[in-house]
């Protein structure tokens, strides 16, 4: 008989925390600060420009047909006579930015995805989160994977030296290991054969003890797909317990392919007119990049049960607090 899954306590708002819980919250906050500084330092040293985020836009991530998306509703408002939506991710902005003025860029990007309330107790879903979104013109998938491995190894190595007290307080000083490069790479097809088409993500996250790459995942129109072989040149980084912490890919840049995929997937063309026009004019450039979920990454480092613990004001699906 399988053990019953552990019940995950829903993170409480700040004003409801006890003194010991506030001390734990402060420790996690220090880990968060260190993580943001470490990652941003790595990207700046690698020649990336730090751009400011966008919260409202006519064009944002369609999140379709990604099977991992579970959005209950999209938030849309009218401003200046035009409909805009809250940012689901800045992928479209990155494609345009990396093709024009910013060949290498990163953004601490807000993401609002109103997850179904049933995901409250997964421990890895929140309806408002932050990604370190990055993109590099003419980069390959290997370039991105090498960069991310370097960034995470640097982060964990330095954390264990400079944040030893905080990690000890969180009972993570000994159990948090510095990852070794290169990380293991798995093909999604092989994982489906092992765990099933519906259960491979959860199965992998429960089994691994260190970061693992997963490649060849059918996804949105902007990820590069080889029409001849059916393979996708993309990659997700999985962490123990929390699963996907990074989603990225080599990007499509050719007009014909982008148009055919948008039409195939029944995505509204009018929401991506700028991408289509730039591709048609030959101004959309090849690039590769990804987005690192900051709360999931810090949650793994800190050993939390629910990533809402990593937020000062938890955004748990189905729950709306005053702050």
pLDDT tens digits for range 72-89: 888 999 999 999 999 999
Looking at the domain assignment, is residue 7 inside a domain?
Answer: no
| Cβ–Cβ < 8 Å for 95, 248 | no
pLDDT at position 71 is: 81
Of 207, 180, 178, the residue nearest 191 (C-alpha)? 207
Looking at the domain assignment, is residue 18 inside a domain?
Answer: yes
Looking at the domain assignment, is residue 242 inside a domain?
Answer: yes
Residue 145 has pLDDT above 70, yes or no: yes
Assign 51 to helix, strand or coil.
strand
Q: How confident is the model at residue 65 (pLDDT cuts 50, 70, 90)?
A: confident
Residues comprising the chain, all counted: 323
Looking at the domain assignment, is residue 320 inside a domain?
Answer: no
Residue 67 has pLDDT above 70, yes or no: no
Residue 23 has pLDDT above 80, yes or no: yes
Note down the domain range covering 206: 14-310
Looking at the domain assignment, is residue 281 inside a domain?
Answer: yes
- Cα 152 to chain centroid, rounded: 14
The continuous run of DSSP H or E covering 160 comes out as helix 141-162
Looking at the domain assignment, is residue 69 inside a domain?
Answer: yes
Looking at the domain assignment, is residue 140 inside a domain?
Answer: yes
CA angle in degrees (0–180, nearest 5) for 123-76-252:
75
| Cβ–Cβ < 8 Å for 252, 221 | yes
Q: Report how many domains make up the chain.
A: 1
Looking at the domain assignment, is residue 8 inside a domain?
Answer: no
pTM (2 decimals)? 0.96
pLDDT at position 73 is: 83
pLDDT at position 180 is: 97
Q: Return the number of other C-beta atoms located less than 10 Å from residue 155's C-beta.
A: 22
| CATH, residue 282 | 3.30.930.10
* 281-308 as b/e: b if 16+ CB within 10 A: eeebbbbbbbbbbbbbbbbbbbbbbbbb
pLDDT tens digits for range 207-257: 999 999 999 999 999 999 999 999 999 999 999 999 999 999 999 999 999
| Cβ–Cβ < 8 Å for 178, 150 | no
pLDDT at position 257 is: 98
| Mean pLDDT computed over 48-58 | 97
């Amino acid at each position: 008989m399988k053990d019953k899954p552990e019940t995950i306590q829903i993170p409480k708002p700040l004003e409801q925390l006890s003194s010991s819980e506030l001390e734990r919250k402060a420790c996690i906050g220090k880990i968060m600060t260190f993580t943001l500084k470490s990652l941003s330092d790595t990207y700046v040293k690698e020649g990336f420009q730090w751009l400011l985020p966008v919260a409202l836009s006519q064009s944002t991530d369609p999140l379709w047909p990604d099977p991992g998306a579970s959005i209950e509703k999209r938030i849309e408002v009218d401003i200046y006579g035009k409909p805009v939506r809250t940012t689901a991710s800045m992928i479209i902005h990155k494609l345009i930015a990396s093709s024009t003025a910013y060949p290498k860029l990163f953004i601490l990007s807000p993401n609002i995805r109103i997850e179904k309330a049933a995901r409250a107790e997964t421990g890895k879903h929140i309806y408002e989160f932050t990604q370190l979104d990055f993109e590099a013109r003419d980069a390959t998938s290997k370039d991105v994977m090498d960069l991310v491995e370097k960034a995470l190894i640097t982060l964990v190595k330095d954390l264990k030296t400079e944040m030893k007290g905080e990690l000890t307080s969180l009972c993570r000083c000994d159990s948090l290991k510095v990852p070794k490069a290169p990380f293991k790479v798995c093909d999604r097809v092989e994982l489906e054969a092992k765990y099933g088409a519906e259960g491979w993500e959860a199965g992998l996250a429960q089994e691994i003890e260190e970061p693992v790459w997963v490649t060849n995942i059918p996804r949105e129109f902007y990820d590069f797909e080889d029409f001849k072989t059916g393979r996708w040149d993309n990659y997700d980084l999985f962490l123990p317990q929390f699963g996907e912490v990074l989603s990225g890919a080599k990007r499509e840049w050719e007009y014909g392919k982008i148009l055919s995929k948008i039409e195939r997937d029944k995505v509204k063309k009018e929401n991506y007119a700028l991408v289509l026009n730039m591709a048609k004019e030959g101004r959309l450039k090849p690039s590769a990049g990804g987005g690192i979920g900051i709360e999931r990454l810090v949650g793994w480092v800190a050993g939390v049960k629910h990533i809402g613990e990593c937020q000062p004001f938890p955004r748990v699906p189905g729950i709306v607090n005053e702050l």
